[in-house]
Amino acid sequence: MKQQAFLGLALVAALSLPSTATELVIVTVNNGHMIEMQKLGKYFEQANPGIQLKWVTLEEGVLRQRVTTDIATKGGQFDVMTIGMYETPIWGKKGWLQEIKPDAAYDVDDLLPAMRNGLSVGGKLYAVPFYGESSMLMYRKDLADKAGVQVPERPTWTQIRDLAAKIHDPKNGVYGICLRGKPGWGDNMAFLSTMVNTFGGQWFDMSWKPQIDSKPWRDAVGFYVDMMKKYGPPGSSSNSFNEILALYNQGKCGMWVDATIAASFVSDPKQSKVADKVAFAQAPTMVTPKGANWLWAWTLAIPAGSQKVEAARKFVTWATSKEYIQLVAKVEGWHAVPTGTRKSTYATPEFQKAARFAAAEKMAIDSANPNDSTLPKSPYVGVQFAAIPEFQAIGITVGQQMSAALAGKTTVDAALKASQFAAEREMKKAGYYK
């Protein structure tokens, strides 16, 4: 492996003639699939001798800040950027991103429809999905069996609460259920939005009025806070994906509803003590199945200011192609391929065999529709967010209120009232209504 990497590097060095090579600067986050892409970049460089890849890895928050500054000032520092499903439609509409027109060999129809819709504005594709995710339930089969409970394929929140009560055993270090509580629009609010959706709520009604003080919000948040106080681990209000992953992998969580990507971590014996004991089901529902599980994608996009559009297009279509997925499978095995993007991946028998969570993940992604994710009609796109620029600030403020309610620093009603007030002010200021 090392020798291979060395040979690859030597080859790259030999091929990188400074006079002719186009240098592509790619900015990305430090997630497993991106690290893999970085390692396999040498294959792209071999096939395209005129292009040299330069990688910049940043922390997620810093990446958003850097990319926004660079786009807003037309800095032109990056030729390819990793952005999320929230930014893509907003930036695409503003003309900050190059439209991506892949050739026939790319087979754009093979992309999962949910993903393609979420990344398009007015039928134009502004970013290509590198890996996608939804949310689902991960639970300890051994504990559920011990409690004599058969978890259905699509459980309800009431069933989940009952099971949490049965397996909650803090004396032995096992908590009934672990859920996100750390404030942030991409942290606790990503999860809570799906819970509000399935309880029949929404962020804004058709006249863009915030609905945070409505009954579905009170029901959902009340249910969540009550359940977490009774059957959650201590300090839930500071837990997000990584914190819960750490707890889960040590066998301290009976259940966890979170990103489908977690499935590959919790079932990996190298990092999880409970790898052979996890089972998967769809995200729990309540009043409606609509919007019960989220939809997210890490995508590759090309900023409108890039001088190297052609080379950048070549790279983003390579990294999200069927061939790339085959390449990862060949080098690392089918368990390591980026999922949630293409129908063909899920149709591959080798993949189905290697990834126990494949079927549940595909079902979750297919059932998420960012254009229709709430029971009452909503004016916004997005399941666990509303793809408008103001949402980020609103999501953070509401997230802080919810986290405070979970920590017991305020009541659910007071938190919802304060959230509604803040959201109304923000939306009025932005001119959505008077």
Question: Cα 217 from chain centroid?
Answer: 22
| Residue 385 DSSP symbol | S
Q: Helix 309-319 and helix 32-47: axis angle, to 10°? A: 120
**Residue 29, interface with another protein (CB under 8 A)?**
yes
Residues that contact another protein, how many (by CB under 8 A):
44
**Residue 16, interface with another protein (CB under 8 A)?**
no
Q: Which of 5, 7, 206, 414 binds another protein (CB under 8 A)?
A: 5
**Residue 140, interface with another protein (CB under 8 A)?**
no
Which CB sits closer to another protein, 97 or 261? 261
Least Å from the CB of residue 276 to another protein: 15
Would you list the DSSP string of 262-287?
A: HHHHHT-TTT-TTGGGEEEEEPPBSS
Subset of residues 72 to 131 that bind another protein, contact rule: CB under 8 A: 72-78
**Residue 27, interface with another protein (CB under 8 A)?**
yes
| Residue 133 DSSP symbol | E
**Residue 55, interface with another protein (CB under 8 A)?**
yes
Contact stretch for another protein (CB under 8 A) within 49-57, 147-155, 201-209, 424-432: 49-57
Q: Tell me the torsion sign for CA atoms 277, 278, 279, 283.
A: positive
Q: What is the dihedral of CA 197, 92, 258, 279, to 10 degrees?
A: 110
Subset of residues 311 to 370 that bind another protein, contact rule: CB under 8 A: none
Which H or E run contains 37? helix 32-47
**Residue 69, interface with another protein (CB under 8 A)?**
yes
Q: Which of 31, 156, 344, 352 binds another protein (CB under 8 A)?
A: 31
**Residue 273, interface with another protein (CB under 8 A)?**
yes
Residues in CB range of 410: below 8 A, 6 or more apart: 401, 404, 418
Which CB sits closer to another protein, 57 or 159? 57
Phi-psi region of 306 (alpha: psi -120 to 50; beta: other; left: phi over 0): beta
Which CB sits closer to another protein, 214 or 299? 299
Q: Say how far apart CA 336 and CA 325 lie, in whole Å.
A: 9
Least Å from the CB of residue 287 to another protein: 30
**Residue 56, interface with another protein (CB under 8 A)?**
yes
CA separation (Å) from 244 to 175, 227, 235, 284, 385?
11, 16, 11, 18, 21
Q: Tell me the torsion sign for CA atoms 152, 158, 162, 164.
A: positive
**Residue 62, interface with another protein (CB under 8 A)?**
yes
Least Å from the CB of residue 269 to another protein: 10
Q: Which of 48, 51, 66, 303 binds another protein (CB under 8 A)?
A: 66
Query: Taking CB under 8 A as the rule, which mask of x and - marks residues 233-272 in contact with another protein?
Result: --------xx--xx--xx--------x-xx--x----xxx
**Residue 222, both tokens:** 């009340």
Rg (the chain; Cα; Å): 22
Contacting residues toward another protein, per CB under 8 A? 2, 5, 23, 25, 27, 29-32, 35, 38, 54-60, 62, 65-66, 69-70, 72-78, 241-242, 245-246, 249-250, 259, 261-262, 265, 270-273
